[in-house]
Structure 1
Amino acid sequence: MLSTKQKQWRIKIFAVTWLAYAAFYFCRKNFSVIMPMISEDFNYSKDDLAILIGGYSLSYMFGQFSNGFLADKFGPRLVVTTGMIVSITANIMMGLSGTFGLLLFFMGLNGLGQSSGWPGLIKNMATWFRRDERGIVMSWWTTNYVIGSFVATIFATYWATSQTLFPDLGWKPGLWAPSVILLFATITYGLFTRNRPPDAGLPVIVKEEDTGSASTGFDKKILREVLNHPTIWIASGIYFLLKMTRYAFLFWLPLYMTEALSYDNSTAGYMSSVYELTGFLGVIAAGYLSDKIFSSKRFPISTIMLAGLAVLCFLQPILSQMGMVATAISIGLIGLTTYGPDSIISGAAAMDIGGKKGAATAAGVINGVGSTGQLLSPFVVAFVSNTFGWDGLFYLFVVLALSGAILSSLRWNFGGTSKPERSP
């Protein structure tokens, strides 16, 4: 049984880490909103935009690997706080940049800062919550990037398109105003989080037998165990496909709506937020179903949702011709079936694979490999949409989702509330 103080601290840790990652999205999702405006102002092609997003994704990918190791070694409080400050600085400077080269540099810097968030905060949560409660707990916790992305989209759209507040600045407030939100979250996280219960004067909550790792402290053995785990590369492959798909929607959905569906910038910005709004339901459903129906197994629900995503992407070109309501419903259901497996693979499954000692490393590896899909995503989107049209892109998503479902089905019986599977 947990003491009253332990329960109070767990609520605090949940709240401040949730806020921290949600706030990261204010300085991430804002670029997708201003992208059509930047393209118009500077006459950037899709290939130019792909290079900018690729610069962000490249540094984000390398940062996932390094920040996972750093968070396990030095603790998430230092690593995440530093990353937040870097992201704030990059967003402010992007608004002041007048050349493509400077914009590319600060996009890369932003990616580096953003990459500290997920592995570091997963590490934070892994030391406060046990394996048999992670499915439900993490389903609620991983709503941070869904709700954060949704609110950030609306927030950035308002500031970037407002004709009443600073209209002469154009889209630049869409970079600066979100930085203020992230600054507030940085101060809150730095002041109120703790890396693990002993740092708050409390007994250990997550016992060694709950971790799947017999190691003590960060060393090469932890890294070796994580990399040799029989499930880490399956999860990473699934996440590669998921991030290629999710980041295509994350960055390109407003442009798709302005070009293919002829929406104006404001309508496209607000409409694209439906993707995250219903994604919230997918995250909650995935967590509850994995714990309650599948006995804390993460891959069955991932398999089912990815198969559903393939069907929805196949139907999207047809539904988009039926009007704005049909488009909103379709995009919403795609968001639900994208965010469900995305959250369960990168959250609870990563924690199960890495355990308390290697949670950040496992999360960093899965996210790092996944981020190679994120890195390729803008170039794939630009090429396919230019060559085969936007409808052709959705048919590519069908292939990616089906491939992910097949991979996920290979680990259907992994995990659960029985004794955790260990690396060889």
Structure 2
Amino acid sequence: METPKVGKATKINLFSLKTIHMKTFHLTWLAFFFCFFGWFGIAPLMAIVREELMLSKAQIGNIIISSVAITVFARLGIGWLCDKIGPRITYSVLLIVGAIPVIFIGLADSYESFMLFRLAIGVIGASFVITQYHTSVMFAPNVVGTANATTAGWGNLGGGVTQMVMPLIFGGFVALGYTETISWRYAMVVPGIVLVILGIAYYYVTTDTPEGNIADLKKKDPNYAMKAKEKEGAFMDALKDRRVWALFFIYAACFGVELTINNIAAIYYKDFFSLDLKTAGLIAGLFGLMNLFARSLGGFFGDKFGIKYGLKGRVMFLFAVLFVEGLALMLFSQMTILPVAIATMIVFSLFVQMSEGATYSVVPFINKKAIGSVSGIVGAGGNAGAVMAGFLMKSENISYPEALLIIGGCVTLVSFLSFVVRFSAVEEKTAATEMAEELSASEEAVLSPA
């Protein structure tokens, strides 16, 4: 009997590792989680680094900018690379190469050398694009928003967990008798080693598509190679699409804000509420912990609105959550009482991450021939937003609360760019047809092991 063709999964079975879809799902969010861990592992320890290297507010601002600036370019390139050679090899190489600066940032002994290592570490932030690409090719339209949002959200969770865990790892080395100067350096080796292990695992456990790896498919099917060739010109089409650039700025207004908060939250609570390093880190970590479910909610409701109202429904939902995010950020910036500030931050975090999930419930439908390129361009927007916010944060004349108030106003205005993201009747019909075809396929065929 002929083995049924393996297609995109129409369901997300969280507790199963039987299919290539779910193996990829779990490994891609785990890889992204530890990329985030390595990317922002130094953030909760910056108070220690600041004292050792005698950094000014402006210098810390430059370091924040450097941590996200290079990721703009890395995300643009990594999306094209996914379309070209596939996500499996791309992710494996990124994880292993990205671990190098994470491990060796401990060699920094000056502001300049520290900033260079921080710049290099930012490359692993491009892992997000691969995560979104891989789930986009593994899951059907009825659940792709949820799959994208959940893998990205659980990956982003690393940004919150690292705020809590890295001070504990640092404290562990101090308890072993090492000085604070040595302990923060040794602490950064831990996430670096994990990244190398995951890079090896990603190569051997995942495949590029549900049907197999791109290299193998090209050998078996000449038509596949021809289709892959046709996709190469799609990158320029993505660059010319105004919807892509609208989503670029929209993602700048949500993920860019999250990156900014990840970088400053611990210092913000330490300085403005006079807290110790561990307490400030624990509170700052609450912001990132919302990724456990908040981003998934954004993708889930994006899918639901898409099923009921079509592609325009996904965009309607995106506008709503981004608009509320801007208002919530402005409110948080004015809080001076610690418990109220924490509560407001959690509400603000909910809408930040729902906006991110809602954005990537729209992205897979912009250009089917260049999913990687579109994901890369939009993803780069998040880092571009963090860079722009970083310039506000480094100013000696603008306090952190004032900067956050300004950013909140900008987010509210950017939400109206959602109305630029429009789909033609043909695109609406194509998306509906694809969804119907995937859902009509038998569950056995869709979920059979590759």
TM-score (ref. length: structure 1)? 0.87
Q: Assess if the C-alpha contact under 8 Å between 2:131 and 2:151 holds in 1.
A: no
Q: Tell me how far apart the structure 1 counterparts of residues 361 and 122 of structure 2 sit (CA, whole Å).
A: 24
Deviation, 1:215, is 5.7
Instruction: List alignment gaps of at least 5 residues for structure 1.
Output: 205-213
Q: Tell me how far apart the structure 2 counterparts of residues 191 and 286 of structure 1 sit (CA, whole Å).
A: 31
1:292 corresponding residue in structure 2: 304
* 3-state secondary structure, aligned to 2:202: helix
- CA deviation string 1:25-80 (max 9, x = no partner): 11012121111211111110121122223223232111111111112111122221
Q: Tell me how far apart the structure 1 counterparts of residues 60 and 241 of structure 2 sit (CA, whole Å).
A: 37
Moved more, 396-405 or 144-153: 144-153
2:284 corresponding residue in structure 1: 272
Amino acid at match of 2:336: Q
1:349 aligns with 2:362: yes
2:145 corresponding residue in structure 1: 135
Amino acid at match of 2:319: T
Amino acid at match of 1:314: M
* 3-state secondary structure, aligned to 1:199: coil
Q: Tell me how far apart the structure 2 counterparts of residues 198 and 95 of structure 1 sit (CA, whole Å).
A: 43
2:41 corresponding residue in structure 1: 30
Q: Tell me how far apart the structure 1 counterparts of residues 132 and 333 of structure 2 sit (CA, whole Å).
A: 37
Deviation, 1:304, is 1.4
* 3-state secondary structure, aligned to 1:198: coil
2:175 corresponding residue in structure 1: 164
Deviation, 1:352, is 1.8
Q: Tell me how far apart the structure 2 counterparts of residues 284 and 409 of structure 1 sit (CA, whole Å).
A: 23
Amino acid at match of 1:340: M
2:14 corresponding residue in structure 1: none
Amino acid at match of 2:26: A
1:326 corresponding residue in structure 2: 340
**Which of 239, 245, 248 in structure 1 is aligned with 2:260?**
248
1:315 corresponding residue in structure 2: 331
**Which of 123, 127, 130 in structure 2 is aligned with 1:112?**
123
1:175 aligns with 2:188: yes
Mapping 1:252-263, distance limit 5 Å = 252-263=264-275
CA 1:391/1:158 → structure 2, altered by over 3 Å: closer, same or farther? same
1:152 aligns with 2:152: no
Q: Tell me how far apart the structure 2 counterparts of residues 50 and 149 of structure 1 sit (CA, whole Å).
A: 18
1:396 corresponding residue in structure 2: 406
Q: Tell me how far apart the structure 1 counterparts of residues 82 and 358 of structure 2 sit (CA, whole Å).
A: 21
Amino acid at match of 1:400: C
2:212 corresponding residue in structure 1: 199
1:52 aligns with 2:63: yes
**Which of 84, 94, 116 in structure 2 is aligned with 1:73?**
84
CA 1:279/1:17 → structure 2, altered by over 3 Å: closer, same or farther? closer
Q: Tell me how far apart the structure 2 counterparts of residues 32 and 389 of structure 1 sit (CA, whole Å).
A: 19
- CA deviation string 1:173-228 (max 9, x = no partner): 33112223323322221221111123269x99xxxxxxxxx964365421122223
1:208 corresponding residue in structure 2: none
1:210 corresponding residue in structure 2: none
* 3-state secondary structure, aligned to 1:419: helix
Q: Tell me how far apart the structure 2 counterparts of residues 317 and 4 of structure 1 sit (CA, whole Å).
A: 47
Q: Tell me how far apart the structure 2 counterparts of residues 43 and 396 of structure 1 sit (CA, whole Å).
A: 28
* 3-state secondary structure, aligned to 2:42: helix
Q: Tell me how far apart the structure 1 counterparts of residues 186 and 429 of structure 2 sit (CA, whole Å).
A: 51
Amino acid at match of 2:331: L
Moved more, 389-398 or 261-270: 389-398
Amino acid at match of 1:411: V
Q: Tell me how far apart the structure 2 counterparts of residues 382 and 266 of structure 1 sit (CA, whole Å).
A: 24
Q: Tell me how far apart the structure 2 counterparts of residues 158 and 369 of structure 1 sit (CA, whole Å).
A: 32
2:27 corresponding residue in structure 1: 16
Amino acid at match of 2:386: Q
Moved more, 155-164 or 336-345: 155-164
Deviation, 1:362, is 0.6
Amino acid at match of 1:57: V
Q: Tell me how far apart the structure 1 counterparts of residues 177 and 364 of structure 2 sit (CA, whole Å).
A: 45
Deviation, 1:108, is 2.0
**Which of 127, 135, 138 in structure 2 is aligned with 1:125?**
135
**How many pairs are equivalent?**
404
Deviation, 1:89, is 0.7
Amino acid at match of 2:337: M
Q: Assess if the C-alpha contact under 8 Å between 2:145 and 2:357 holds in 1.
A: no
Q: Assess if the C-alpha contact under 8 Å between 1:76 and 1:120 holds in 2.
A: yes
Amino acid at match of 1:70: L
Amino acid at match of 2:347: L
Q: Tell me how far apart the structure 1 counterparts of residues 389 and 403 of structure 2 sit (CA, whole Å).
A: 11
**Which of 281, 301, 306 in structure 1 is aligned with 2:293?**
281
Amino acid at match of 1:136: T
Q: Tell me how far apart the structure 1 counterparts of residues 295 and 341 of structure 2 sit (CA, whole Å).
A: 21
1:339 aligns with 2:345: no
Q: Assess if the C-alpha contact under 8 Å between 2:243 and 2:420 holds in 1.
A: no
> What RMSD, in angstroms, separates the aligned Cα atoms of the two structures?
2.8
Q: Tell me how far apart the structure 2 counterparts of residues 8 and 67 of structure 1 sit (CA, whole Å).
A: 26
1:233 aligns with 2:248: no
CA 1:4/1:87 → structure 2, altered by over 3 Å: closer, same or farther? closer
* 3-state secondary structure, aligned to 1:369: helix
1:88 aligns with 2:88: no
2:233 corresponding residue in structure 1: 221
Q: Assess if the C-alpha contact under 8 Å between 2:164 and 2:278 holds in 1.
A: no
Amino acid at match of 1:90: P
* 3-state secondary structure, aligned to 1:195: coil
- CA deviation string 1:289-322 (max 9, x = no partner): 112234354322221112222222222244x333
Q: Tell me how far apart the structure 1 counterparts of residues 79 and 60 of structure 2 sit (CA, whole Å).
A: 28
